[in-house]
Structure 1
Amino acid sequence: RTNSVLIDVASSSEADKIENLIQSLDLPVSQVLIEAKLIEVVLSDENSLGIDWEMASQVISEIEPTTTLTGPIFGRASSSLVPVSGVFSFAISNKRVNAVIVAVSKQGNAHALSQPRILTLDGKEAKIEIIEEVPFVSGVTVTSTTSGGVTTYSYSYTIETRSDIGITLTVTPRIQKDRSVNLHLDIKEIRIVDYLELPISAEAEAIGVRSRTPHTADRITTQDVVVWDGQTLILGGMISTRKSTIVSKVPFLGNIPLLGHLFKKTAYEDTRTELVIFLTPYVIRSFGEGKMLTNEEKEIEKQPSAGIIEKF
């Protein structure tokens, strides 16, 4: 779609002014390519309180200085990396991302949750979702049948689904005149921390059948930070504890109504994890800049090992 305007001018000088004004307004819309890496680290016993970022920062020798609006940014590796409200952030050169990932992986079992690239307009939000649907038993209908003095129980389940379990990362970039980028970040994480076993009826309780409803924990983090074009922002300190239920039972005997619990053993295990987010904004003000970034991405994809994160 094009817009045409007919302007009647009295002199060539006015025409020149109008032409200059049109040229200043007729600019391509600036865009931001956001490259993200979301890594989950299963913390070892030695690092149960979280990743030792002081140790990780020594590996990359220097954390790049940057500016900040309202979110905490640490300018040097020698700075005190103390979490603010449990979450902290700092910026590094994009070339040092793999070194940080290696340092982090040495402190626990790390694996990539997602590595998306999203193109968005200046001032428009981009959303990254890592969501899973979790079915659970919300109800049980028990039917008993007696024949020849023998009572047989049958039951049917009512299944519901939670479709909001996971991580939602919303990024709104705003490009500054000096090509720095103000990133407004909203991070929402919903995790299942446990399952609540609730009684349904006396009949269901008699045969050991209960509904299992997921108990979730929500965490919402908001930050405003400023990084340079092509600089990588790292967010850490988002630690969660997951409770796992491990049921061991004797085959066949463990499924016997009323007596099955005698042949079962239930154990509970706590797993602590830390979510680490890497965000790299690339400013695109012209077609040429966009083409150059596209060519760079194609070259990276051709490499047999495009990133050390794939080895986890």
Structure 2
Amino acid sequence: MLEKIAQRCFVYAVAVIGCYSTSSHGAEPQAWLAQLSQQQQQHPVTLTVQEMPLQTLLQLLADDVGINVVVSEALQQRVQLRFNQVPWREAMRSLITTYQLDVRVNGSVYSITQGQPITQPGQARTMVSELLTINFANAAKLAELLASNEQKFLSADGAVSVDERTNTLILRDYPERLRTVKALLKSLDIPVKQVMIEARMVTLKSSASEELGVRWGLSPSGLQRTAAGGGLSYSRPQFEVNLPTVAAAGSLTMNIGKLHDNLLLDLELSALERENQAQIIASPKIFTANQQPAYIEQGSEIPYVESAASGATAVQFKKAVMGLKVTPQITPNDHVLLNLVMTQNTRGETVSTPTGPAVAIDTQEMGTQVLVKSGETIVLGGIFQRQALHDQDSVPLLSKLPLVGKLFSHQRTQADKRELLIFVTPTIVDEQAK
């Protein structure tokens, strides 16, 4: 028999197998072992295998003690083990427990199949189904996480589905697995902190922006400035702060300032608006979840006619807007890390295309990242626009006289340069206070 076993082990890369006829007494045999003699049960096994199919290994062990066995073809798991002077009964018991085998006795024939081992009848593996309503997270995304083959949260027999209408997970698995999954979902299904983004888009005359900068500088802790994107900035003594230098008309150079006193800001802007030195274009407020982007756009859509190859025409629109994309990330100590993307899209030239004329959109975009305290205001500047204003004063009738009419009229051209400032104030929403 040893020669027969050795030949089989050679085929499946078995390193060592040996059987010795010694006797030792162990635990009381289980019901399925009752038909075996003590000599068979205590038969020592020394065996080392690598990548042997479980079906073949069970047949070898059955041949070793001379019992009749029928092993299911489904038991093709690859086994790696090493037994050294292990009683045959313990070797079989370890395999049955590890691979959850079912052993049944029919006369003198043992049938081994996949299933719950009858050595542990009190631990029957019954699958159960549960409905779990998700309150804050996205049920579909959680289902993808649970079904991931990399994480192995569910057993091989487990399944998860989603009812998107009620944001509910439908779970089916073994009870012990469901307990683990439910604990995981409980830690993930928590309310996400929210951030209120308050933005003010203001256009100021060049002189007004400089004046506003001096006024801010009157507060020693009022304005702290940094610059990015090519703008020039410098610090003077503590009571005077200079805002960005003049950039080319229509250019986009982001300059960043930090303001602590929002009340002072509102008062200054209101005063400048009454003096016709500033114009508040928009002041939207938007709530967004932590690490979720918020979009703010101000502008218009330009219509143009698009022609198809068939000759049909359709009116299309292109956006010419000033846009701001803010993605907040809440950090410890009530600070917010802001990812800012600022865009300026303006109407360009009308170009000819094979299907007809189309409108070109001049696009400028710049991004930055700033860390601020909740409630502080970030100032984004550096967008300048120039306008030439033509005005004529004249005396009726007399200004129309030939030769001398110019003496009764006056023309003046005034260059108006304005800067767009965007004030962004992130505030962490306190749900408990609400």
The interval holding the TM-score normalised by the smaller chain is 0.5 to 0.7
Counterpart amino acid of residue 169 in structure 2: N
SS of corresponding position for 2:281: strand
Pair member with larger Rg: 2
Which of 202, 213, 217 is matched with 1:58 structurally?
A: 217
The change in CA–CA distance for 1:70 and 1:113 in structure 2 (over 3 A counts) is closer
Which of 1, 11, 26 is matched with 2:189 structurally?
A: 26
Which of 202, 205, 208 is matched with 1:42 structurally?
A: 205
Q: Deviations over 1:117-174 (max 9, x none)?
A: 11222222211111124579xxxxxxxxxxxxxxxxxxxxxxx997433311111111
Q: Identify unmatched segments of 5+ residues in structure 1.
A: 137-159, 197-212, 252-264, 293-312
Residues 57 and 77 in structure 1, CA contact (< 8 A), matched pair in contact too: no
Residues 328 and 338 in structure 2, CA contact (< 8 A), matched pair in contact too: yes
Q: Is residue 2:386 matched to residue 1:241?
A: yes
SS of corresponding position for 1:24: helix
The Cα of 1:221 is off from its aligned counterpart by 2.8
The Cα of 1:219 is off from its aligned counterpart by 4.0
The change in CA–CA distance for 1:104 and 1:183 in structure 2 (over 3 A counts) is farther
Residues 42 and 108 in structure 1, CA contact (< 8 A), matched pair in contact too: no
| CA–CA separation in structure 2 for the residues paired with 1:238 and 1:39 | 11
Q: Identify unmatched segments of 5+ residues in structure 2.
A: 1-166, 246-252, 305-314, 351-357, 397-409
The Cα of 1:242 is off from its aligned counterpart by 2.5
The Cα of 1:112 is off from its aligned counterpart by 0.8
| CA–CA separation in structure 2 for the residues paired with 1:59 and 1:273 | 23
The change in CA–CA distance for 1:266 and 1:218 in structure 2 (over 3 A counts) is farther
SS of corresponding position for 1:62: coil
Which of 169, 174, 190 is matched with 1:3 structurally?
A: 169
Counterpart amino acid of residue 35 in structure 1: E
| CA–CA separation in structure 1 for the residues paired with 2:338 and 2:328 | 5
Residues 201 and 282 in structure 2, CA contact (< 8 A), matched pair in contact too: yes
The Cα of 1:24 is off from its aligned counterpart by 3.1
Name the structure, 1 or 2, with higher relative contact order (CA <8 Å, separation 6+): 1
The change in CA–CA distance for 1:23 and 1:124 in structure 2 (over 3 A counts) is same
The change in CA–CA distance for 1:191 and 1:66 in structure 2 (over 3 A counts) is closer
SS of corresponding position for 1:27: coil
The Cα of 1:7 is off from its aligned counterpart by 6.1
RMSD: 5.0
Q: Is residue 2:319 matched to residue 1:164?
A: yes
SS of corresponding position for 2:169: coil
Residues 222 and 260 in structure 2, CA contact (< 8 A), matched pair in contact too: yes
The change in CA–CA distance for 1:172 and 1:29 in structure 2 (over 3 A counts) is same
The Cα of 1:43 is off from its aligned counterpart by 2.9
Residues 302 and 317 in structure 2, CA contact (< 8 A), matched pair in contact too: yes
| CA–CA separation in structure 2 for the residues paired with 1:93 and 1:7 | 58
Alignment match, 2:293: 125
| CA–CA separation in structure 2 for the residues paired with 1:110 and 1:132 | 21
Alignment match, 2:257: 89
The Cα of 1:96 is off from its aligned counterpart by 3.1
The change in CA–CA distance for 1:2 and 1:130 in structure 2 (over 3 A counts) is same
The change in CA–CA distance for 1:60 and 1:69 in structure 2 (over 3 A counts) is same
Counterpart amino acid of residue 2 in structure 1: T
The change in CA–CA distance for 1:273 and 1:66 in structure 2 (over 3 A counts) is closer
Alignment match, 1:139: none
Alignment match, 2:56: none
Alignment match, 2:425: 280
Listed as ranges, the matches of 1:106-255 within 5 Å are: 109-133=277-301, 163-191=318-346, 219-244=364-389
TM-score (norm. length: structure 1): 0.54
Q: Deviations over 1:174-197 (max 9, x none)?
A: 12133311111111224569x99x
The Cα of 1:225 is off from its aligned counterpart by 0.6
Residues 37 and 277 in structure 1, CA contact (< 8 A), matched pair in contact too: yes
- Report the number of matched residues: 228
| CA–CA separation in structure 2 for the residues paired with 1:134 and 1:246 | 28
The change in CA–CA distance for 1:267 and 1:186 in structure 2 (over 3 A counts) is farther
| CA–CA separation in structure 1 for the residues paired with 2:425 and 2:379 | 9
Q: Is residue 2:415 matched to residue 1:270?
A: yes
